[in-house]
């Protein structure tokens, strides 16, 4: 299990400096829509303060938002950062093979296939990693993200007084999704539309797999 240490920094607030803890998560986020109406977000985290883990967020076609987390610690952290109608602690497995993820998480049982790098992914991939994973860079590109990818933001307010920043370094196309979600057969891919409502940002409308470094700033305890 690989962990990424939390950092302590200071955030300027009006005329004072406030100590904040910064948690860093490194991994990939897959966002897909389905023809039957569900939108699914799968996070596979290789390095984090919680160790290596995967979690699944799904919003049904009637708007019910579910988090499936592999442990109580992950459920509490993610559940307090995002908004859900229901949180379940159940085994979550993301089995990876060439060009494919098999996702097993309670009511979400799907296979996701990947294609080549998207045009935006080629641009992101060309940016030096050291720059691309800087929070200041992500903040500077937030306005661009809003215009180019409606519903997507790179930085914003999260739950519990936290602030979250997404630093995306690559973007690959999703080409297919099949399986079952909430007991309904999933047989066809669709755009992530309407945008998901878990937090301040949705995944892109075009189904995709993003390589990402995510920072979560929290008031120091």
Counted domains in the chain: 1
Model pLDDT, residue 221: 58
In a domain, 14, yes or no: no
Are residues 56 and 29 in contact, defined by beta-carbon separation less than 8 angstroms? no
In a domain, 7, yes or no: no
In a domain, 3, yes or no: no
The DSSP string of 51-118 is: -SEEEEEEE-TT--EEEEESSHHHHHHHHHHS--SEEEE---EEEEETTEEEEEETTEEEEEEEEEE-
Model pLDDT, residue 17: 64
Model pLDDT, residue 1: 45
| Among the listed residues 172, 176, 60, 177, the one whose alpha carbon sits nearest the alpha carbon of residue 119 | 172
Model pLDDT, residue 147: 84
Model pLDDT, residue 10: 47
- Distant-in-sequence, close-in-space partners of 156: CB < 8 Å, separation ≥ 6: 142, 163, 164, 199, 200, 201
Model pLDDT, residue 112: 98
Model pLDDT, residue 150: 83
Domain of residue 84 covers: 23-215
3-state secondary structure of 9: strand
Model pLDDT, residue 16: 54
Element (H, E) at 148: helix 142-148
Model pLDDT, residue 42: 98
In a domain, 123, yes or no: yes
In a domain, 107, yes or no: yes
In a domain, 12, yes or no: no
CA distance 205 to 208: 8
pLDDT-flagged residues of the chain (< 70): 1-18, 220-221
User: pTM score, two decimals?
Assistant: 0.90
């Amino acid at each position: 299990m690989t962990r990424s240490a939390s950092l302590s920094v200071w955030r300027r607030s009006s005329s004072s400096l406030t100590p904040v803890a910064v948690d860093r998560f490194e991994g990939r986020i897959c966002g897909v829509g389905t023809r039957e109406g569900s939108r699914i977000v799968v996070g596979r985290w290789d390095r984090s303060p919680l160790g290596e883990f995967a979690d699944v967020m799904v919003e049904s076609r009637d708007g019910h938002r579910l988090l499936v987390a592999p442990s109580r610690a992950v459920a509490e952290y993610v559940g307090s950062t995002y908004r859900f109608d229901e949180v379940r602690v159940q085994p979550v497995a993301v089995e990876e093979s060439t060009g494919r993820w098999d996702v097993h998480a309670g009511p979400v049982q799907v296979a996701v296939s990947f294609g080549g790098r998207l045009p935006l992914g080629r641009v992101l991939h060309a940016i030096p990693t050291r720059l691309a994973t800087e929070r200041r860079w992500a903040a500077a590109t937030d306005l661009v993200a809003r215009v180019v990818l409606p519903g997507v933001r790179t930085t914003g307010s999260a739950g519990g007084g936290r602030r979250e920043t997404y630093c995306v370094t690559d973007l690959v196309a999703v080409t297919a999704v099949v399986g079952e979600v909430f007991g309904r057969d999933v047989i066809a891919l669709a755009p992530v539309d309407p945008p998901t409502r878990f937090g301040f940002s949705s995944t892109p409308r075009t189904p995709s797999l993003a390589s990402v470094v995510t920072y979560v700033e929290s008031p120091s305890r």
